[in-house]
Structure 1
Amino acid sequence: MSHNDRQMNGQHRPNSILDQFELPPGRKGKQHLARLRTAWRESWEEGGFLYQRWEEVGQARHAGWHEIALWIKTAGLLAGISLIIMMVDTASDIASAALKGLSDVPASNAADGTGLWGTVDHPIRVFLADQAAHLPVAPAALYAFWQLTGLLGLIGGFFGNAGARIAWLLFGISSLAMIWSATPDGGRAAATGLAALMWALASIFALRGLTLRPIVHNHPPQFMPQFNPTLHLHATLPAPTPAGDDFDDDNVRPLQR
């Protein structure tokens, strides 16, 4: 294996770009390019600058955040911050255009309530238009706020946000009340029931994972008195007598013939 094909950290290093250039005419040009080629090759040799940087890039895949090189952290943070700025700018433009489009929605009249969705949506527009006549706000603004509330409640409830689920429940109850109030007497029950069914189907996503079952934890209490019976025996032992005190003077008898 040649020097240019040497592997570092399990990967081939990039081919020398300087080897692809032809020497320019003239002695000075040859010497200058020769020095560049020498510096390029030395930097890729073991212990060289580019060799160490390439090793750090290869080790970054397996090392943690605290072990990788500082310049890789800096480059990653700058790239992440730039991406976040671009996403926030794009999201703000989309939200601004969506709110502007919702605000420009005109109020509907009685001749627009056609179709399945119109049966539910039209009474709400009529109700909001009638109420806006007594309020310092445009009917289109009320309708846009009603739509935005439902959208945020549906999305936030899907991700388990408690406040969004409360907003979704209030959105559904208020929508049913508006439909019941603005629909003519002949189709009031049918329109309200249809809206309730549509709201229930949408609640499958908005109230995902919500259960009414009580949660019972069968874990023993953390602090329980422990009873460990122990038996203590106290015995008094006599003190041992010295070896020389086994025979006292009264037991000594003289030897008789």
Structure 2
Amino acid sequence: MQSNDHTPGQNHQELTHLPVPFPKAPPKAPRFAALRTWWQEAWEEDGVLHAMWEDVLSAPEDGFRYMAPWLRALLMVAGVSFVVLMAKAAGEVVLQGLHTLLTAVPKVQVGVDTSSGVFAVVDQPVRTYIAQHSAGLPVEASTVYTLWLLTGIVGLVLGYLSRNNGVRAMWSAWGAATVWMVWMATPATSRPVAAGLAVLAWTFLSAFAMRGLTLRRRVVAGRPAKVTVKPEIHVPVQPPAPAAEQHPHDSCPFRD
């Protein structure tokens, strides 16, 4: 018979120690379900990917001018990137070739008598000046001399062919620097003669490098000169009309 005694005893089981069941977790959604849903919707008739694919298919018929803006921008970026990569590669090849030219080809001894004749009057002082003032440079004196020589040749040829003012300015600076080096490196007894010959040689070559240079304004044949016409109307100020002179009889009250 079950006892009605509610006093906790040795055989009495406490309810507080019973385990409490936890609620079940909701089932997890399938992995990448949202991505799969977006992919299916994007390829529908009004989806983003479907519209982009239609733009790609119609691009050959539309041409570069009328194709989709995003596709035209993509092609332009790809083209510019390709040009930049090709220019970089070509620049590396050119710089490598120039470095080889400047370091391997010019095997000259600067500062010694390596030229003769009238050309030696200008060439030997330039070599001597470069040898004296290029000791602390990271390049050899022969490389500096070759750069000086190439600068003069390029300025002469391009000035004759292109008639560009920038090339002419380079040629003028090269000539002034050459005359200065000749003046500084030539002994004092023959300095004026050497500098004069350098100026004469540079002036003679300038007839080719500065061909077509003129200070007059160029007028192209068959093209009328631009004349600015500003129509203006000047109205002279009229002087005030003199007042009519009044006769003394006009103010008489007894006049008929």
Larger Rg: 2
- TM-score normalised to structure 2 length: 0.46
